[in-house]
Amino acid sequence: MESSRIKRKRQKEIMLVSQMIKLYCHKNHTNQNGKELCDECQELIEYACERSEKCRFMKNKTFCSNCRIQCYSPEMKKRIQEVMRYSGPRIIIYHPVLCLKHALTGVIEKRRTKRD
pLDDT tens-digit series, residues 44-74: 999 999 988 888 877 776 667 667 777 889 9
Average pLDDT of the chain, as a whole number: 83
Lowest average pLDDT, out of 24-28, 34-38, 46-50, 81-85, goes to: 34-38
Tell me the helix, strand and coil percentages in the chain, rounded to 5: 75, 0, 25
How far apart (Å, rounded) are the C-alpha atoms in residues 14 and 95?
A: 15
**Residues 94, 30: Cα–Cα separation, whole Å:** 19
pLDDT at position 83 is 95
Percent pLDDT > 90 in the chain is: 30
pLDDT of 11 strictly over 90: no
Which residues contact residue 60 at a Cβ distance below 8 angstroms, ignoring those fewer than 6 apart?
A: 113
Report pLDDT for 98. 82
- Give the whole-angstrom CA distance, residue 45 versus residue 15: 10
Average pLDDT over residues 31-53: 85
